[in-house]
Chain A
Amino acid sequence: MMRESPRAVEDAYRVEVVGAGDYWLQEARAGETLRITDLKGNQAVDTLFFNADHPHERYSAFDTVREQRNLYLTAGTTLVSDEGSPMLDIVGDTCGRHDTLGGACAGESNTVRYALEKKTMHSCRDSWLLAVNTHTRWGLTKRDLTHNINFFMNVPVTPAGGLTFEDGISAPGKYVELTARMNVLVMISNCPQLNNPCNGYNPTPIELAVWSR
């Protein structure tokens, strides 16, 4: 569902541009709102959320889609944790559909999907592993890397049970906005995948803006 936001970027207390292939790890307090903007269009933004106070509680992709009885994330979706607790609400969306079924890229899965010699290409999982092993205050490790959201990515399911990877439905300036319902840790990998139309074969920067409650 398309829903435009009333918020102005000038009012945000934090605005940052994150290049493709970089990670972004920040806390947002309950009531704060995070906007992710696809600056150039067709960029996949691989995102995980944790309870900032108890990081073993984390976003659960499959609990989220089952509880809303719908596979796609958009305005009106509540992201739920592995405990079934609401973590964030999607309050704005000018893209219309986001994936949480397709997971993140990794060198190892690249070997299967594309070619054995692609294993050394930069990947979302490399970014996350570097993030958790650099910023150790939350005690996160590979154990905590679970199934993620791919903001701006379009992965439709066919009636026959097939899965297709479509050219992104996003475009320059499209955004998604989320309001936190608990103190959350946000861990984003701005996807470096070069082998997939989801990034238009050309990974590009995103903008992150955070508003206080």
Chain B
Amino acid sequence: MSDVQYRDTLPGGTHWSFLARQGTTLELTDVEGGGNVGMIFYNPANPLERLNLPDTLKCQHTFKLTAGHCLYSDMGRIFCSITADSVGWHDASSGTCNAGIVAEKWGSSSYQEARNNFYRNGRDCFLVELGKYGLGRRDMAANVNWFSRVDVTEDGNMALAAGHSAPGANLTLRFEMDTLVLMHTCPHPLDASPEYPRKPIAYALGVAPPVAADDPCRLSREENGRGFQNNALYLLGTDASVSLGASS
């Protein structure tokens, strides 16, 4: 278990970002149930390295994300592992809502009228957070939607599962390299709620013990073992450096 050092809650329909150092954890809790968290990762040392969900899904032969899975960059490295998950299925294939989707579903809601309850959308949230680091739309990548599940039929038809995430549902990410975390709490793009959903998400930051040789994420697939080897090479010479095992 990680040693939690910081707790905060993001109201529904808001956004934030932070630097998660290698060896720290992020626990997300869907306080009321039915929440959604859009999330993307970047390497702060080279933001051209970013979350790559196609690589993440294909190397683990999975469509859903849950405990034991790792989230990969386009450079073959692991940003973070999912070390705990009470939900069992998180969506990685629907992208995020944009202004058009939100207006079509829930109408317009300006800041002038609604103040901080105005209807934010995921794409604009990501653009704001990207801008804080000198990044922009060209740096956008497909995002995860934590707490949301999208089922696919044999013919490929996609549908958002209703009532998927229960109150108090939670998951924990353990960062395997320094990672810029961009997140928002806007609705899933397939959410059909009659009102703009505004679900708060609690999050906690902590420090994880070193990754053990028999760590379940490392061992869940051979591919992840090689991903951890790539990270070990990347971390060579840092405080997190481990032996790469080469003999002279």
Please pick, from A82, A115, A142, A163, the residue contacting B48 in the complex, using a CB distance under 8 A: A142
Residue B119 interfacial (CB < 8 Å): no
Stretch in B8-16, B49-57, B79-87, B209-217 touching the partner: B49-57
**In the docked arrangement, what's the CA distance between A125 and B94, Å?**
23
Does A165 lie within 8 Å of B58, measured CB to CB? yes
Does B226 lie within 8 Å of A144, measured CB to CB? no
Does A62 lie within 8 Å of B94, measured CB to CB? yes
Does A112 lie within 8 Å of B227, measured CB to CB? yes
Please pick, from B53, B58, B138, B155, the residue contacting A143 in the complex, using a CB distance under 8 A: B138
CB distance from A163 to the nearest CB of B (A): 5
**In the docked arrangement, what's the CA distance between A155 and B177, Å?**
30
Contacts of A101 in B (CB 8 A): 54, 57-58, 63, 93
Q: Mark A147-178, 1 if CB is under 8 A from B, else 0.
A: 10000000111110111110000000000000
Does B94 lie within 8 Å of A112, measured CB to CB? no
Q: Which among A101, A106, A156, A158 has the greatest number of chain B C-beta atoms within 10 A?
A: A101
Q: Mark B93-126, 1 if CB is under 8 A from A, else 0.
A: 1110010100000000000000000000000000
Does A161 lie within 8 Å of B74, measured CB to CB? no
Residue B208 interfacial (CB < 8 Å): no
Contacts of B190 in A (CB 8 A): 66, 69
Task: Tell whether A66 pairs with B158 under 8 Å between CB atoms, given A112-B72, A113-B58, A144-B138.
Answer: yes
Give how many A residues have a beta carbon under 8 Å from the other chain's beta carbons: 45
Does B93 lie within 8 Å of A70, measured CB to CB? no
Give how many B residues have a beta carbon under 8 Å from the other chain's beta carbons: 46
Residue A207 interfacial (CB < 8 Å): no
Does A143 lie within 8 Å of B48, measured CB to CB? yes
Contacts of B189 in A (CB 8 A): 66
Residue A17 interfacial (CB < 8 Å): no
Does B158 lie within 8 Å of A70, measured CB to CB? yes
Task: Tell whether A56 pairs with B156 under 8 Å between CB atoms, given A103-B58, A109-B55, A161-B62.
Answer: no
Contacts of B77 in A (CB 8 A): 108
Does A108 lie within 8 Å of B74, measured CB to CB? yes
Please pick, from A84, A102, A111, A157, the residue contacting B76 in the complex, using a CB distance under 8 A: A111
**In the docked arrangement, what's the CA distance between A56 and B139, Å?**
10
CB-based nearest B residue for A74: B156
Task: Tell whether A162 pairs with B61 under 8 Å between CB atoms, given A71-B156, A103-B52, A103-B54.
Answer: yes
CB distance from B214 to the nearest CB of A (A): 20
Task: Tell whether A161 pairs with B75 under 8 Å between CB atoms, given A71-B156, A84-B100, A111-B226.
Answer: no
Residue B166 interfacial (CB < 8 Å): no
Residue A60 interfacial (CB < 8 Å): yes
Residue B157 interfacial (CB < 8 Å): yes
Residue B219 interfacial (CB < 8 Å): no
**In the docked arrangement, what's the CA distance between A101 and B60, Å?**
13
Contacts of B236 in A (CB 8 A): none
Does B61 lie within 8 Å of A112, measured CB to CB? no
Please pick, from A69, A119, A159, the residue contacting B158 in the complex, using a CB distance under 8 A: A69
Please pick, from A56, A63, A104, A162, the residue contacting B95 in the complex, using a CB distance under 8 A: A63
Does A62 lie within 8 Å of B223, measured CB to CB? no
Does A113 lie within 8 Å of B157, measured CB to CB? no
CB distance from A142 to the nearest CB of B (A): 5
Residue A65 interfacial (CB < 8 Å): yes
Please pick, from A70, A108, A144, the residue contacting B156 in the complex, using a CB distance under 8 A: A70
Contacts of B75 in A (CB 8 A): 108
Contacts of A162 in B (CB 8 A): 61-63
Contacts of A70 in B (CB 8 A): 155-158
**In the docked arrangement, what's the CA distance between A48 and B230, Å?**
28
Contacts of B139 in A (CB 8 A): 143
Does A111 lie within 8 Å of B138, measured CB to CB? no
**In the docked arrangement, what's the CA distance between A164 and B189, Å?**
25
Please pick, from B76, B94, B95, B154, the residue contacting A108 in the complex, using a CB distance under 8 A: B76
Please name the 7 residue pairs, one residue from A and one from B, whose CB atoms are nearest each other, closest first.
A103-B54, A108-B76, A161-B64, A62-B95, A72-B156, A71-B156, A143-B138
- A sample of 12 cross-chain residue pairs with beta-carbon separation below 8 angstroms, ordered by A number, consists of A61-B54, A62-B95, A97-B156, A102-B54, A108-B75, A108-B76, A112-B59, A113-B58, A143-B139, A147-B53, A161-B89, A163-B62
Show the binding face of A for B, using Cβ within 8 Å. 56, 60-63, 65-66, 69-72, 82, 84, 97, 101-104, 106-113, 115-116, 119, 125, 142-144, 146-147, 155-159, 161-165
